[in-house]
Structure 1
Amino acid sequence: MNITKLIAKPLLALLFVTLSLHANAQHFKVKKIKDVVGDSELEFLALTGTTVAENQINTYLQGKELEILPGKQKHDIFENIRPKTGSTTGITQLNYTVLVNNSKLFSVEVNNEYTSASLNEYSTTYNFDAQTGKLIQFSDLVTKEGYQAIRKFVIKSRKTKLSSHLKALKNSGEKESSTIDTYSGCLLEEDKDNLDPDDLKFQKTGLHLTRRSCSGSHYFQAFEEKINIYKNLLSIKFLEPYLNEYGKCLLAVPNTKCTYTNPAASLHLGVFKGKINQLYPITLLVTYLDKDSFQASYFYDKQGKEIRLSGSFDKDSSLLLKEAPSYEENAKKKQEFFKLKVQADGSLAGSWNDGKNSYPVQLK
């Protein structure tokens, strides 16, 4: 028996399908929406179909990036993010690149430039299951054991690269002790790294994970990009033993619809829809998720105006989502909050409270 052939065959199949992820056939029709005012050039995408998946994707992308629900704009979809008249604070540049668009995966990179006292550039990659519109995180693709093995490998790799960078800084006579302190602290923080918040890109040769910057300084971020201290390309060969059934289907089984399974009884990024007190339709977006905290926002569907929430995990495993204070609102206004629990099917149930009234909430 030829062992080499037995090993090579699944690897070749996986390589074939990963390459097919980037084929020219387009699953969704994508419309470009563009607006130019002065020095500001804003462009964004909208999927033109009416399937549940397209609705989920449009809702998440427009809610997260444009702070508005689809179809709820008064003038145009950029009205909540561009600088107001007489102000320079807001999103002044916005564009996107569709990376993958097929029957399994829709992946898009969104880049924006936020102007305030300084100029800040951001880039985020969003990956959606094309059949359901659900957001895909790295842990959705691998087994629990596989996730831990890969996490251990990635952390070791990043710490090795960061240690080399820190040593080079010290040897170069770096005068700013704060810079060395920042990277030294980051070296300790990397032991706690969760791979799900990383930027995830599906590449022809595997999966690309990029950690957030340690420095928070755009000057250093540009340098960090060059020396590649936060990026890990996980090759097809490396990933294969760790993929779960969904990951195998998504990456390794050609011409097959993949079944996305909601993580049981655990909070997940994405769109949740339901009602407060069975009367008021709302949309909740969970936009960032870490071990001890998360970020979200919600919209009353009738108005479509974003209300930001900061989230934490209570001792009884409940989710506490408190309205983020706003300087624009009346300082005496009581802040709204939700107390929710993740159900066995991944839905959310609990209560909404404004300090005076408390009503039941069901979201799925």
Structure 2
Amino acid sequence: MRILSLILLTFALPLAAEVQIESLQTEHGNGTYRFPKLLGTGDAVKRINTYLHAIELKLLPDSFESSPFENIWPKEGEIWGVTRLDYHVDRYGPGFLAVTIESDTGGAFTSRQSINYLFDLASGQPIILEQLLSESGLRNLHAQLRQQRSQRITDFLSGEIITNGRDGRAVSLDSSNPERAALQRITYEQCRQTRLGRSIDEEHVHLGSQHLTMSITGCMLPYIRDLDALGDFENLISYRALEDDLTPYGHCLLIKDGANCKRPPDIRAGGVYQGSLDGSIPITLVLSHKSRNRLSSALYRDAKVEYTPLEGDASVPEYRQLYESSYPPAHFELRVDKSGELTGIWQQQGGKTLPVQLR
């Protein structure tokens, strides 16, 4: 495998001098794979690398046998798996790192995905919107997005020229094709009542230099996307316009200079937790924010560095239940204290309970 070290940026982190990002890169089959790795020795750097590797590559940093992409690309003779992987850094410092991972996944049809990750540079832990906006601020933002997107559908259905949110084309309702126009009208009206009214959890969040960008995929399923004149929904909101709705952390990060901001502990944001099972088995637990009530996570038992996917309930802020996707079934029951430490038990079906301590 060919690994290219491409220095993209440099920034300062607590407990570390200059930190750089290199690209892990290779070609496999007909696809190109490129992935970020931070260089440095600080705890924040280690957490960011561990989080991204665990969630995207299904392994821990530097734990691969032949390639860092060996767990995600299609196996020999199969079509299922990641067929292309790339990234770009949206913003770095002061205070946070924003990076987007893009991928194509093969199967019955190719699925394209873009995921935005936000990290607090002081702690190396992920950031979610709930840490930046107050509860009332989240409600205000959701209402604003629904109104703007509903108006965009109204404008299109009334015959106005609209910009496609996927490729930038100027589009309008095609009155010369009544059947196509009728199908678009029905679909967009349904979308207005259903998709645009869903939880803000489905949004992709981008933090730029002056604006917050919220985006969701369009109203059409992939196999009828040729009907999708509107494309994706993307809205830019200036930080100044959000000032009254920001938390103290959000205000420090987005309105002030972003340095020395204290990230509030919030287990809903997920993150990297390391410790032991039964006081002797080293484990790494990576919690990934899926929605306000769900966690999608990964467990690594360090002795074998084996990846075990987990699904969990996050509806109670201080309590987590995580279920292993393995046989025999096993689960964690964890509680978080004010310092952010996780304690609880792990139990395999029919077995005894073992204590867990993570931080």
| TM-score bracket for this pair, using the shorter chain length | 0.7 to 0.9
| Residue number in structure 1 paired with 2:339 | 345
Deviations for 1:14-42, whole angstroms, at most 9, x for unmatched residues?
xxxxxxxxxx7644301111111231211
Shift of 1:283: 1.5
Name the CA shift for 1:193/1:254 in 2 (closer, same or farther; >3 Å): same
Letter in 1 for 2:207: F
Deviations for 1:243-276, whole angstroms, at most 9, x for unmatched residues?
222222212223732221213xx53222222211
| Residue number in structure 2 paired with 1:90 | 81
Name the CA shift for 1:160/1:311 in 2 (closer, same or farther; >3 Å): farther
Matched residues in 2 for 1:162 and 1:348: separation?
A: 45
Q: 2:354 aligns with which of 351, 356, 359?
A: 359
| Residue number in structure 2 paired with 1:210 | 215
Q: Does 1:248 align with 2:251?
A: yes
Q: Comparing both structures, which one devotes a greater share of its residues to strand?
A: 2
Q: 1:187 aligns with which of 183, 189, 193?
A: 193
Shift of 1:54: 0.5
Q: Does 1:323 align with 2:324?
A: yes
Contact 1:352 1:361 (C-alpha < 8 Å) held by counterparts: yes
Letter in 1 for 2:356: V
Shift of 1:90: 1.2
Q: Does 1:275 align with 2:270?
A: no
Matched residues in 2 for 1:354 and 1:177: separation?
A: 51
Q: Which stretch shifts more, 51-60 or 97-106?
A: 97-106
Q: Structure 2: which 5+ residue stretches go unaligned?
A: 1-8, 13-18, 160-172
Contact 1:206 1:236 (C-alpha < 8 Å) held by counterparts: yes
Matched residues in 2 for 1:316 and 1:249: separation?
A: 24
| Residue number in structure 2 paired with 1:328 | none
Contact 2:309 2:324 (C-alpha < 8 Å) held by counterparts: yes
Shift of 1:214: 4.9
Matches within 5 A, 1:1-364: 26-27=11-12, 28-162=19-153, 172-174=178-180, 180=186, 184=190, 187-195=193-201, 197-217=202-222, 219-220=224-225, 227=230, 230-254=233-257, 256-263=259-266, 266-312=267-313, 318-324=319-325, 333-357=327-351, 358-364=353-359
Name the CA shift for 1:25/1:251 in 2 (closer, same or farther; >3 Å): farther
Name the CA shift for 1:277/1:177 in 2 (closer, same or farther; >3 Å): farther
Shift of 1:175: 8.5
Matched residues in 1 for 2:236 and 2:124: separation?
A: 25
Contact 1:322 1:338 (C-alpha < 8 Å) held by counterparts: yes
Q: Structure 1: which 5+ residue stretches go unaligned?
A: 1-23, 326-332
Letter in 2 for 1:360: P
Matched residues in 1 for 2:27 and 2:318: separation?
A: 46
Aligned-partner SS, 2:76: coil
Deviations for 1:44-64, whole angstroms, at most 9, x for unmatched residues?
111110111100100010111
Q: Comparing both structures, which one devotes a greater share of its residues to helix?
A: 1
Q: Which stretch shifts more, 32-41 or 342-351?
A: 342-351
Aligned-partner SS, 2:127: coil
TM-score scaled by length of structure 2: 0.81
RMSD: 3.0
TM-score scaled by length of structure 1: 0.80
Aligned-partner SS, 2:117: strand
Aligned residues: 329
Name the CA shift for 1:25/1:31 in 2 (closer, same or farther; >3 Å): closer
